[in-house]
Structure formats: structure tokens, C-alpha cells
């Protein structure tokens, strides 16, 4: 029998994988993809509770999360492209212009 606990564990595991990706990788595109994984983990949680509580509110919030993810991807990738054009790198460790 699959209960919401199973979905929560799956969601948490996916979240951790995403967090590790953000922490460990240096390629900024992969870091962005890890953030997408984190957002998907959140969505799984929301939809699981939506099914459990038998209302659509969780799904509505999942749609908002997807909208935010789309906005984030568009602006973030725009920044990556602009940065790449100036510095010819997508290594996040070399993005330290603001560091004193």
C-alpha cells in the first residue's frame, strides 16, 4: 500500500540529490538543472498531498512552481549566455567579479 509517506521520502531523496548537485558541481548549467530537480521534488510532494486530501490545491501550487521554474530558467540562462559572452566560461568558481 503506497501512502503519502512513500511519496514524501521519494521527494526528500530527490531534493537531496538536487542539493548535492548544487553544492558539488561547478558547471553552472548543471547547477541550474539540479535546481530544477529540487523544484520537481517539491512538486511531487504537493501533488501527493493534493491526492491525499482530495482537492486540487496542491496541483494549483505545482502549476505556480512550474511557472516560476520557467521564469527562472529563462532569466538564468540569459545571464549564463551574457556571462559566457564576456568571460568565456561557465565555471561557477570563476564567477567572482563581486568578491572583494
- How many H helices and E strands in the chain? 3, 0
Position among 3, 86, 97, 100 found at the interface with another protein (CB under 8 A): 3
Q: Are the CB atoms for 84 and 90 separated by under 8 Å?
A: yes
Site for another protein, residues 68 to 87, rule: CB under 8 A: 68-75, 77-82, 84-85
**Beta carbon of residue 17, minimum distance to another protein (angstroms, whole number):** 4
Scanning residues 37 to 56, which ones bind another protein (CB under 8 A)?
Answer: 37, 40, 43-44, 47-48, 50-52, 54-56
Contact with another protein (CB under 8 A): which of 35, 42, 62, 97? 62
Q: Is 97 in the site for another protein (CB under 8 A)?
A: no
Nearer to another protein, 1 or 97 (CB): 1
29-43: string of b/e by CB count within 10 Å (b at 16+)? eebbebbebbbbbbb
Q: Which of 57, 62, 70 is nearest to 44 (CA)?
A: 62
Phi/psi of residue 78, nearest 5 degrees: -60, -45
The distance of closest approach from Cβ of residue 98 to another protein in the complex, given in angstroms and rounded to an integer, is 13
Amino acid at each position: 500500500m503506497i501512502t503519502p509517506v512513500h511519496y514524501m521520502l521519494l521527494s526528500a531523496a530527490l531534493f537531496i540529490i538536487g542539493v548535492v548537485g548544487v553544492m558539488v558541481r561547478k558547471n553552472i548549467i548543471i547547477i541550474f538543472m539540479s535546481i530544477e530537480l529540487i523544484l520537481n521534488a517539491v512538486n511531487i510532494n504537493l501533488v501527493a498531498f493534493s491526492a491525499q486530501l482530495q482537492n486540487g490545491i496542491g496541483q494549483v501550487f505545482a502549476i505556480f512552481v512550474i511557472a516560476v521554474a520557467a521564469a527562472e530558467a529563462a532569466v538564468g540562462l540569459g545571464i549564463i549566455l551574457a556571462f559566457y559572452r564576456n568571460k568565456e566560461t561557465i565555471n561557477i568558481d570563476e564567477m567572482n567579479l563581486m568578491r572583494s
